[in-house]
Amino acid sequence: MITPKPGIMDIAMYQGGQSALPGVDDVVKLSSNENPFGASPMAAEAYARSVHSLHRYPSADHFELRTAIGEVHGLDPDCIICGAGSDEIIHFLCQSYAGSGDEVLYTELGFLMYRISALAAGATPVEASEPERVTDVDALLAACTERTRLIVIANPNNPTGTMIGGGELARLADGLPDGALLVLDGAYAEFADGYDGGAGLVAGRDNVFMTRTFSKLYGLGGLRIGWGYGAREIIDVLNRIRGPFNLSQAQLAAAEAAVRDRDFADRYVAENRRLRVWLAEAMAEIGVRSDPSCANFVLARFADAAEAGSCDAWLRQAGIIVRSAAGYKLPHCLRITVGDEASCRRVAHAMRAFKESRE
């Protein structure tokens, strides 16, 4: 039997958030950090229009989408690459820059796909400690070796919801060994007040790269669109391994309309900001703690894994699906997407009933 390359069989398959509960109607899914308000109607219209050109190959250079992203974010479109989700961009980075004998470094509570992409490239995944559920720049710098090629951090991070500021990011970038690239995963960047996702840092340095997604803010997780921004030389490298038609016409059209619909995006950011505070306070009132979140979810902390598991089961019975953080080495935590107001109220109500049932 043919054998796969080293590392491939060490990959544990990524599990997506559950979306249905057998026998329960009226389920609210808060397990994948999706936009509770759906996608922009303009994106939906653009998607629908693409039905008229199904026989045509899509653009291979994504010029229009890159131009739209560049205009909205004030970035040079030539320094942008688009992919099937930001997952694909991270995959391109690992495939291009990390192979056998190289190390891909991330934080111990970092997003699970970093390990998968590192192993798929034949590289060695390395974790830096993350005390207090916050990215630790000193731990990352201490974990760097001459084999470190990529350092990937999500800022804000999933599943913790915490982030580090511009000063810390710059200190990290400045302290990296030569030949290493800092990748700032900005999947949740728009939910953090006053944060540019690291774009400013990229502009001033050639050892920093930023990834972004249409899956969270723009509610297009089902379509799979993400992008990356970095030095032209890096974009050139990544484009060489990118499939020329990695994005369909429907993806390109919907993403372009979505990024141009600022009202829709701004409304969601404002509503998320209001409701994540409300939800965290409602949880705190019943003794469930969480770190201040900079994303579109909160990480609820329980006394231990048993209590978190019981609360998860209780919420499911109430038709609410949240995400256990056990796979992220946080078995005493549940990650809960900030939904719309009705969903947040439902979570708070069910959690209160859970807590009272145990008094």
Ligand X SMILES: Cc1ncc(COP(=O)(O)O)c(C=O)c1O
Instruction: Give residues in contact with ligand X (CB under 6 A).
Output: 33, 85-87, 111, 154, 158, 185, 187, 213, 215, 221, 226
Start-to-end CA distance of the chain, whole Å, equals: 58
The residue of the chain with the least Cβ separation from ligand X equals 85
Angle at 79 between CA 206 and CA 237, to 5 degrees: 75
Residue with tokens 């050892």: 207
**Per-position DSSP letters for 86-151, written without gaps between them:** HHHHHHHHHHHH--TT-EEEEETTS-THHHHHHHHTTPEEEEE--GGGS--HHHHHHH--TTEEEE
Q: Which is nearer to ligand X, 75 or 152 (CB)?
A: 152
Considering the complex, what minimum distance in angstroms separates the CB of residue 336 from ligand X? 14
What's the closest the beta carbon of residue 89 comes to ligand X, in angstroms? Answer: 8
Residues with Cβ within 8 Å of residue 194, at least 6 apart in sequence: none
Q: What minimum distance in Å lies between the beta carbon of 25 and ligand X?
A: 27
> Residue 109 or 126: which CB sits closer to ligand X?
109
Complex with ligand X: residue 212 or 355, whichever CB lies closer: 212
Dist. CA 355–CA 300, nearest whole Å: 13
Shortest Å distance, C-beta 164 to ligand X:
14
Distance CA 118, CA 7 (A): 9
Q: Pick between residue 251 and residue 318 the one whose CB is nearest to ligand X.
A: 251
**Cα–Cα distance measured from residue 114 to residue 108, given in angstroms and rounded to the nearest whole number:** 11
User: Which CB sits closer to ligand X, 96 or 215?
Assistant: 215
In the bound state with ligand X, the residue whose beta carbon lies nearer, of 140 and 351, is 140
How does strand 103-107 pair with strand 28-29? unpaired
Q: Give least dist CB 91 to ligand X, A.
A: 9
Q: In b/e form, how buried is each residue of 7-18, taking b as 16+ CB within 10 angstroms?
A: beeeeeeeeebe
Shortest Cβ 100–ligand X spacing (Å): 25
